[in-house]
Amino acid sequence: MLEFSHKPVMPNECMDGLALYDGGIWFDGTVGGGGHSYEILKRTATRGRLIATDLDDEAIAAATKRLEEFQGRFEIYKSNYKDFSVVFEKAGVEKIDGALLDFGVSSHQIDDEDRGFSYRIAEAPLDMRMNSSAYLTAEIVLNTYSEEELTRIIKTYGEEPFAKQIARNIVKYRANKPLKTSGELSEIIKSSIPAKFRYGAPCERKTFQALRIEVNGELDGLYELVLSLTRRLKKGGRIAILTFHSLEDRIVKEAFRYLENPCTCPGNFPVCVCGKKPEVKIITKKPITASEEELEYNSRSKCAKLRIAEKL
């Protein structure tokens, strides 16, 4: 088993975005290796309190060790960040001063051969679960979903133009034997995409991304999550969200936009009559991206986008 290692993405930008201060109650929805959480606790000393969640047992263990020096100021729950309301109730918290959500997969999960997130590890099992106790795996998806379902997932979640060909070839392959490894899936993907389109980024990336999203239900309820978590902020509190592909970023952007201008009146009304008031001020009109300096030591920050909003 690999030692848990994960570089937090845009740590300074995230902390600046949260406008941290001494004290307050803060929420880190994906504790990972504890990198972001460490910075939150350090910059809110000596009275700041952190509530964090994660589904990965290894991440929770690593973060607990990383945050030892702040003992008594943090609590980590094994939970999906989408269930934050249950966690807040357990923690005896109603409102928070700031929230950080990181929708990325940790470096450790990608590099661990037993997790099956990476197309670069040929013999890795087709797992892709962030929560190792969950039922659904990529192997189950690939060997039981219909061709139509596979096409939809790969096209929608992976934005893969050759989704239909890939799904068709997956079904043909499994007719002889079930898919078991990342290497088998990679070969199917490569054979499904015309040679002239196999350049630039690895052609497997989009399909692997799509399967990971399906296995973990990453986009399910994401819009509602952003709305409801933002509404648990105190006045002046901020929410900072890191996304890693266009579907997530679009959802966050639309949710922030709705909270900033929640008017439901028809567009042809000369004035608003619904009475709904703006709930947030969007701090980032355009998303923040990683600096050139960070890209040099953390290549996985390349696709990251950071959006921030402040509760009115």
Domain ranges for the chain: 11-103+219-311, 131-216
Query: What's residue 121's pLDDT?
Result: 65
- What does residue 186 show for φ and ψ, rounded to 5 degrees? -60, -45
Provide the mean pLDDT of the chain.
91
Query: What's residue 105's pLDDT?
Result: 67
Higher pLDDT, 245 or 307: 307
Residue range 8-36, pLDDT digits in tens: 999 999 999 999 999 999 999 999 889 99
Kindly report the three-state secondary structure assignment for every residue of the chain: CCCCCCCCCCHHHHHHHHCCCCCCEEEECCCCCCHHHHHHHHHCCCCCEEEEEECCHHHHHHHHHHCHHHCCCEEEEECCHHHHHHHHHHHCCCCEEEEEEECCCCHHHHHCCCCCCCCCCCCCECCCCCCCCCCCCHHHHHHHCCHHHHHHHHHHHHCCCCHHHHHHHHHHHHCCCCCCEHHHHHHHHHHHCCHHHCCCCCCCHHHHHHHHHHHHCCCCCHHHHHHHHHCCEEEEEEEEEEECCHHHHHHHHHHHHHHHCCCCCCCCCCCCCCCCCCCEEECCCCCECCCHHHHHHCHHHCCCEEEEEEEC
Closest of 306, 311, 268, 301 to residue 286, by C-alpha:
306
Considering the entire predicted model, what is its pTM? 0.87
Query: What's residue 285's pLDDT?
Result: 92
Q: Contact 182/147 with Cβ under 8 angstroms?
A: no
pLDDT confidence band for 284 (50 / 70 / 90): very high
Query: What's residue 111's pLDDT?
Result: 55
Across 11-20, 93-102, 123-132, least confident range:
123-132
Query: What's residue 106's pLDDT?
Result: 56
Say which amino acid occupies 124: A
Query: What's residue 115's pLDDT?
Result: 61
Query: What's residue 1's pLDDT?
Result: 46
CATH architecture of the domain formed by 131-216 = Orthogonal Bundle (1.10)
CATH architecture of the domain formed by 11-103+219-311 = 3-Layer(aba) Sandwich (3.40)
pLDDT confidence band for 113 (50 / 70 / 90): low
